[in-house]
Structure 1
Amino acid sequence: MSDAPLHTPAAPRVRDSTWRDAVLANGSVVSIALFFLVVCVIFSFATDAFLSAPNLLNILRQSAPLLIVAAAMTFVITTGGIDLSVGSVLALVATLSATLLQLGLPWPLTILAMLAIGTALGALQGYFIAYERIPAFIVTLAGLSVIRGFALLITGGYSIPVEATSPFVAIGRAWILGVPAPAWIAVVVLALAYLVFNQTPFGRYVTGIGANAEAVRRAGVNTQLNMLFVYVISGAVSALAGIIVAARLGSGSSNAGQGFELEVIAAVVLGGTSLFGGRGTITGTILGALTVAVIANGLILAHLSPFLTPIVTGVIILVAIWLNFRLFRGAVRSR
């Protein structure tokens, strides 16, 4: 009788299965990376200025608020939730920043106050979602309207200027080592988000809550507190984005951030985070946000109508959701 193993042919199948699992795990990031490169190539041929250093730095500066908030939205959507109020929080913080600076409040205290307000708004919405079990869509849709309403009430529909000599504006206009300050802030936030999402128990809890909240709760995790904290983070970084926008523009406007929530959601789902929860990727979100920013910038450089931007963004959301649904439904069925 031969001593050869009876199951030798299984080895290739094991390798194939491992390869397939790796593709399923990282396929969304690879696909958005390829799409990002295609978009960059198209605009580099369509316009002469796209690949110029000033334009690339301008993209980094303008996309910083999007990158910052998209990082937090990755946590929110991975839990199976949504935050539609991020644009309104941005607008309220921008208007309040300009108002407080005009009233003579020192700029460091203004920044701390704005971060506290953003955190409080996130905590308030998170409480209704996590503890009162009201759907996140309903809570944050109400927040979108109410918070934007307060911004309109404060400004009366007008912009509030920020003194150009104030150190506050350096947050949005300064350059550090040849790179815009907002880009450096975005890098720090994204690095922290990546580490927290991938290397900490909280990040694992976020993914677990989205996949099976009841199982995580039975494992002894306070799912309600973790869910609350996710929205606290979203509110805080939305406030940070509002500070950057007010500093860069030198004014606070209640119209700031209109449609911003759609851009953020588009960036996150385009990057491969599942709208059904349980799967997220910070790397994909970064590529998704840069893709959205590059498309908006490229359309302007190509002298196309700026009104095409929301159309393209809407199409991106639809296609991303469709692919998201097909990909992750297929992944679940294959298990």
Structure 2
Amino acid sequence: MKRDLSDSAATSFFPAVAFAAALAFSPLAIGAAPVVRIDGSSTVYPITEAVAQDFQRAKLHEVHVNIGVSGTSAGFAKFCRGETDVSNASRPILKKEMDECAKAGVRFYEMPIAYDALTVVVNPQNTFVNSLSVAELRKLWEPGAKGRINTWKDLNPAWPAQKINLYAPGADSGTFESFTEVVVGASKSSRSDVNTAEDHAVLAQRIADDKDALGYLSLDYYVENEKKLKAVAISDGKDAVLPTVANIRNGSYQPLSRPVFLYVNEKSLEKPAVKDFIDFCMKNAARLVVEANYLPLPARAYGENLERVTARKVGSVYGGENKARPRPEDMRKLLEALMHGS
């Protein structure tokens, strides 16, 4: 189960507000407790949420962790302005974002934290869509599909002539960027007649409430709502595969598997609270990533993240592109590049 930082489910939608309220009513005066500032991806939020809860307990709440959920792109904008210590990201940092960080003098460490799967879902009342090919997804989501692919029959002649209502994360979401990159072939290229929400929990509920819905979201939010959503198996020239942990681990759920990241401001690590948080995160990530319904990296990977800090290996191995889709067995090469690259 996803755990909430204030032990109240309602605050999962307003994490920054919840933290501020908790601090206001704590024995510590405002400003007295060190604060770790995090923002960015709603996909990665459940992981940092779980880490923050355990970390604050371990620190007897003498350190405060403030997590916002503005989406990967908006999170990077704040990060590159120096407004946050850590940026949650469901895709690699882009060249233009790297340039903004460089202009502001923000150097960073790129830390893979888990594996996720973009999960295509329909309403459980939909009994005829059990699998889709990547080609069918492209046909449905590409910009030219607006006004042309409006019903299930338009997509597959064997299906009924019922309207399709599409749902997706908002334009600031790394999930949106990753999905469009992989499926359509260009980041942020999508038909415009789509219902959007930055919060994946809101997205899941809207799909659950609409019998004609089809959408996509992060694996965690599907797992949290699997009683009211139906996952669709995906084929890419081979047999259709469901987004299960086993299929992500063995590399068969392609091309919608992806690594997700933390980006850490190098200067922020001079603050004891931030350094302690990152140390705690990497030493406990294998357990907490599983609790957050994601697939952990190999155990050694988290130690290598910390070793890169010691070695001052800053920057990104992706070269500012969101094109890398390494399978779990290829993650070792990625980690070696992160560790030993310049």
Q: One fold, TM greater than 0.5?
A: no
TM (norm. structure 2) is 0.26
TM (norm. structure 1) is 0.26
More helix by share: 1
Larger gyration radius, structure 1 or structure 2? 1
